[in-house]
Chain A
Amino acid sequence: MKTDVLIIGGGPAGLNAAIETASRGIKTIIIEESYALGGQLKQQTQFFNNLPKQFDRQRGIHLMRTLIDRLSPLPITCLLKHKMIGVYKDGRIGIANDTETFPIDAKKVIVTTGAAEETDLFPGWTLPGVMTVGAAQILINRERVLPGKNALIVGLNSFSAEVAKQLKACGINILGVMDKTVSVNDKKLVEGLEDKKIRVMVNTVIERATGAGEVKKVTINNDGKKEDLDIDLICIGKGLAPILEPLEILDCEFGFQAKLGGLVPKYYSTLGTSNPSVYVAGNAAGITCLGGILLTAEIAALNALKALGVLNDNEVKVRSSFLWDELRSMESEESIETFIARVAHIKEFHEECELPLPASFHAILEGC
């Protein structure tokens, strides 16, 4: 199989990138390991107020439909239940489904593999009934199954707080959302939870979870004070980390940026990586908000189109600087630290390669 653009991962970033390339008539293939497009949007029933201008404010699942509707008239190949499993020596990408393995020869690859949830280890963490907040959200919103009756949420962040509220709305008793530390930035989250009568427990860690065959009890330690709680569900929300394996086998270099989720591929202001045919976008390029996911995808796709000779420099320059502005305001709304880390990450890589940053980027740098 041959294509101009291969997109790895059919979540919001992959879909938005595909809309950009396919609407220019560029041959585009998306590979997606799940049974359907949409990625994490598939179970995100919450409202997203903070989306790029071209989207109305809407629920995650509706945004998924919007994206798929925009994509469906375009000439694009979606390979569902297909995985990238490797790279051939000549650079072709190895794809497999359950029955066959074959190469795809792509001029440009955009990696939009998203992120994986981080877990937490404590005695008893492997018991059934202990799961990530993302898994609990899939169970209630997608599979329509209640994962438990009495739940404890471990880790406080915007995602775990959102899921805590959704679980409560389904009638699950939330004994609390706990974390070791809570920063001043989390004030809004704490208030939001307390509004919904959900207890927030700071300075608290899990000592152990117990139960025969499934989790029944948890011992927590609040600043030295131990307490046993009867629960049948522990949801771990320890944040996200970019999924990097495809970038590793594509020989991309990595750098460390704590605020972007740890190890992230190095990239330029084009979102091009150290491998000249590979771009990265969405959470794979650093953990961000949904707006950031969509916008980075557009920036990456635009620059891939430019590299393919489809768009001219000027067009890309004008739109990029518009998109970067929007990205700044979107990420600042959620957490300015993400944007600052992203810009620092880009600047470092440009300096390392002795490649000047585009003029439009200097204004952004000054803003940080």
Chain B
Amino acid sequence: MTDQYDIVIIGCGVIGSSIAYHLSEYKQKRILVIDKGFPLSGTSGSTQAWVWVHNKVPSWYGELSMYSAELYPFLERKIGDVEYKRTGGIAPFFAQTDWDKALRLAEEQAEVGIKVEVLTRDQVLEKEPALSPKIAGATYSDMDGNVNPFRLVELYIKAAKRNEVEFSFYNPVTEMVMEKDHYKIYTKNKKDAITTERVILAGGPWSKEIGELLGLDIPVKQVRGQVIITEPLAPFLKHTIGGMRQAENGEVLIGFSKEEVGYDRRTTMDVIQETAQMAINYIPSLAKANIVRSFSGVRVIPEDGFPILGKIPDKKNAYIAAMHSGVTLSPLVGTLMAELVMVGETSICLKRYSLKRFMNYA
């Protein structure tokens, strides 16, 4: 590790590591990625990891998710097998009154080219016989799938290393000073500052704290999600279901709870039991499955729910990428951020996602 870089990325989850890899494809810059823990110690190591498109609304947000999902097969050809599976996604609903909503969703998403089908109960059960006959119907799209986030981050890092990106783990960034044409970055393990022309904040749920180092108030919430996991079961779920998926090794990952409890990664019995009940409502046969463990992760959710992406207004050469659904968006966000930094323009307009939208209120 030297002291001088062109680009320093703070945070090595699915977002930071993707940006690093995509930047490294240009093979022009000296790049360093710093993480306070190990690469999956944040949210990217405690996620459901659906690559989920079909009910992301409004449609412009769905569109972003779709483009990212489209990039996954291409990404795999470049960095290796990340166990991306385009399983198709089913989001069941129980009330007849949800039909209208489902039809509206299909219409809205069609405008941007996302194909969403509204399935009757019989059609759903034909696709996924394990689902409860109590459901009224479901929305379905063959765009949806899931990925192994552990392999994803590992392979991003390996590929980036081949392109000479450097990494520094277990090394929290503690201070940042903006000087005339560069940033000085201080970390716990290094007495002297690291100098860099550009800095990219990819700190996930710690975005607020990292933003504060630059005197910024990043408007994100920390939202805990608890997930329960069954013993390995013989493969019986073909699709990614809005609520659960069966992993390659047979375990079913269940849950999507949301609680604002700060950075507290414990699990609670209340949510575990609610989640188990939800699972049985969806898939009655799961009542017989043993739950072997649970985990929780902390989502970073921007105040308005949509990604914060792009240049940081009023801070020269500083960028940010903070979002929920970062697994879905990872390949696209990496591509666009690399374009932004290297070319100055992006192939998809990022104006809507700028941090600036929150600053107008001030």
Q: Which residues of A contact B (CB under 8 A)?
A: 85-89, 92, 94, 101, 103, 248-249, 251
Residue of B nearest to A251 (CB): B266
A-B contact pairs, 18 of them (CB 8 A): A86-B267, A86-B268, A86-B269, A86-B294, A87-B266, A87-B268, A87-B269, A88-B268, A89-B268, A89-B270, A92-B269, A94-B269, A101-B269, A103-B269, A248-B266, A249-B266, A249-B267, A251-B266
**Which B residues touch A248, using CB under 8 A?**
266
B273 contacts the other chain (Cβ, under 8 Å)? Answer: yes
Q: A251–B266 Cα gap in the complex (Å)?
A: 8
A-B pairs with beta carbons under 8 A, tally: 24
Chain A, residue nearest B272 (CB): A86
**Min CB–CB distance B138 → chain A (angstroms):** 30
B293-317 vs A, CB cutoff 8 Å, 1 = contact: the mask equals 0100000000000000000000000
Q: In the assembled complex, which residues on chain B have CB atoms less than 8 Å from the CB atom of A94?
A: 269, 272
Across the interface, do B270 and A88 meet the contact criterion of CB distance under 8 Å? yes
B270: A residues at CB distance < 8 A: 88-89
Contacts A85-B269, A86-B294, A94-B272 aside, 9 further interface pairs with beta carbons under 8 A come to A86-B267, A86-B268, A86-B272, A87-B266, A88-B270, A89-B268, A92-B269, A94-B269, A248-B266
How far is the CB of A132 from the nearest CB of chain B, in Å?
A: 21
Cα distance, A88 to B273, chains bound together (Å):
10
Inter-chain contacts of A85 with B (CB < 8 A):
269
**Among B266, B267, B269, which residue has the most Cβ atoms of chain A within 10 A?**
B269
- Rank and list the top 6 A-B pairs by shortest CB-CB distance, nearest first: A94-B269, A86-B269, A88-B269, A89-B268, A89-B270, A88-B270
Contacts of B268 in A (CB 8 A): 86-89
Taking CB atoms, residues of chain A closer than 8 Å to B272 are 86, 94
Name the A residues within 8 Å of B266 (CB-CB).
87, 248-249, 251
Cα–Cα, bound, A101→B266 (Å): 19
Quick one: closest B residue to A98, CB to CB? B290
Give every chain B residue within 8 A of A103 (Cβ-Cβ).
269
Complex Cα gap A85–B294 (Å) = 10
A180–chain B nearest beta-carbon distance, Å = 26
Q: How far is the CA of A14 from the CA of B265 in the complex (A)?
A: 28
Digitize B110-134: 1 where CB-to-A-CB distance is under 8 Å, 0 elsewhere. 0000000000000000000000000
Q: Which residues of A contact B269 (CB under 8 A)?
A: 85-88, 92, 94, 101, 103
CA gap between A87 and B270 in the complex, in Å: 8
Pairwise interchain contact A101-B267, C-beta atoms closer than 8 A: no
CB contacts (< 8 Å) of B267 on chain A: these are 86, 249
A353 to B267, CA, bound (A): 26
* Min CB–CB distance B291 → chain A (angstroms): 9
Contacts of A101 in B (CB 8 A): 269, 273
Binary CB contact string for chain B from 256 to 283 against chain A (1 if under 8 A, 0 otherwise)? 0000000000111110110000000000
